């Protein structure tokens, strides 16, 4: 295992002020470069000496990546370097996208939200302690998943979506963004590309060393929120061991469009149960045309956990996920 040290390995520091300069530096240094946003995840890696980049590209001076502004067709654009506090407390986000405001406001602690960025929360790496402690697992380029063995400590790991690796996505804002049909705008030296939030996060069956579509040289520039559903009902809940700082054990984000007492459309997303936020499309199909009632929620919860496969210490996640999905429909605001 890695040994904690006080000294961070040396690196070249670059502080661009334009997106074009940032992506040029990222392309130049490739997988030897490291992008620094709020730095909260970065310094853990550096202090443990697990990551040893040759160059660090600090985005703090790129003003283009900050702020919340009106987008096209009644939506909002949020720069990836916008702090989580600004997202959680912005009047437009709170009034029009309370689901995202709630999720951002539950990340860690106020101090961390002041420093941490929305983009950083979205693209942060998994918290699996075997991986983050320097064990040569599949995700680190090795040939075993230490968390999946019969003697492993795997209470926080996944119950679905595993493919050799059983680590989970740690982002609190990711399920909310998927539920809101957000789009991720990615910049590179080749220009900009846009990904639906549901497609932005990938599992180990696609690439076991990445959790998003981002490759070396790619920069998450902004998040685009479409116009919210008229009269949408929303729900967000994050269950964790401690009420402050901690990562979720299971979380759920839902957005329902209800007319005449019946669900016309829905987005139901759970996180911390798979290597990516899981959009429950089967649940969404099953609840359309039904009232958002106790009975509908119970049915949805049962459908949600179909196919779940537990590890030695995480079977509690099945019941937790079932109940969160139930509440997300029954108690939608």
Is 118 part of a structural domain of the chain?
A: no
pLDDT at 1: 52
Count structural domains, the chain.
1
**Low-confidence spans in the chain with pLDDT less than 50:** none
| pTM (2 d.p.) | 0.96
pLDDT at 50: 86
Is 221 part of a structural domain of the chain?
A: no
pLDDT at 186: 98
* Contacts (Cβ under 8 Å, ≥6 apart) of 295: none
What is the C-alpha separation between 310 and 332, in angstroms, rounded?
A: 28
Is 282 part of a structural domain of the chain?
A: yes
Q: Which domain holds residue 258?
A: 233-330
Is 137 part of a structural domain of the chain?
A: no
Q: Is 150 exposed, middle or buried (0-12, 13-18, 19+ CB in 10 A)?
A: exposed
pLDDT at 332: 87
C-alpha gyration radius of the chain: 20
Q: Are 88 and 101 in contact (CB under 8 A)?
A: yes
Tally of CA atoms within 13 A in the half-sphere of 212 that contains its CB: 25
CATH number of the domain enclosing 303? 3.30.390.50
Is 180 part of a structural domain of the chain?
A: no
Is 308 part of a structural domain of the chain?
A: yes
Is 132 part of a structural domain of the chain?
A: no
Is 106 part of a structural domain of the chain?
A: no
pLDDT at 165: 98
């Amino acid at each position: 295992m890695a040994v904690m040290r006080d000294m961070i390995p040396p690196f070249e520091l670059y502080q661009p002020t334009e997106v074009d300069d940032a992506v040029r530096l990222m392309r130049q240094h490739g997988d030897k470069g490291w992008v620094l946003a709020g730095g909260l995840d970065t310094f853990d890696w550096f202090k443990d000496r697990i990551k040893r980049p040759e160059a660090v590209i600090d985005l703090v001076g790129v003003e283009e990546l900050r702020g919340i502004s009106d987008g096209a067709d009644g939506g909002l654009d949020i720069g990836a370097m916008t702090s989580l506090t600004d997202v959680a407390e912005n009047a437009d986000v709170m009034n029009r996208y309370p689901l995202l405001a709630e999720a951002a406001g539950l990340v860690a602690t106020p101090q961390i939200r002041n420093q941490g960025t929305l983009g950083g929360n979205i693209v942060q790496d998994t918290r699996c302690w075997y991986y983050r402690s320097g064990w040569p697992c599949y995700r680190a380029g090795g040939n075993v998943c230490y968390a999946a063995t019969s003697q492993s400590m795997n209470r926080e790991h996944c119950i679905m979506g595993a493919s050799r690796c059983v680590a989970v996505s740690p982002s609190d804002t990711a399920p909310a963004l998927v539920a809101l049909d957000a789009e991720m705008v990615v910049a590179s030296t080749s220009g900009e590309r846009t990904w639906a939030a549901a497609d932005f996060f990938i599992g180990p069956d696609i690439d076991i060393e990445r959790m998003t579509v981002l490759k070396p040289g790619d920069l998450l520039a902004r998040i685009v929120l479409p116009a919210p559903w008229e009269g949408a009902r929303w729900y967000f809940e994050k269950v964790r061991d401690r009420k402050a700082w901690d990562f979720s054990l299971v979380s759920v984000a839902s957005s329902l469009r209800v007319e005449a007492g019946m669900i016309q459309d829905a987005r139901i997303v759970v996180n911390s149960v798979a290597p990516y936020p899981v959009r429950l499309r089967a649940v969404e199909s099953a609840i359309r045309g039904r009232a958002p009632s106790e009975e509908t929620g119970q049915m949805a919860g049962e459908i949600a956990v179909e196919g779940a496969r537990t590890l030695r210490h995480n079977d509690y996640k099945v019941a937790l996920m079932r109940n969160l999905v139930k509440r997300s429909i029954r108690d939608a605001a």
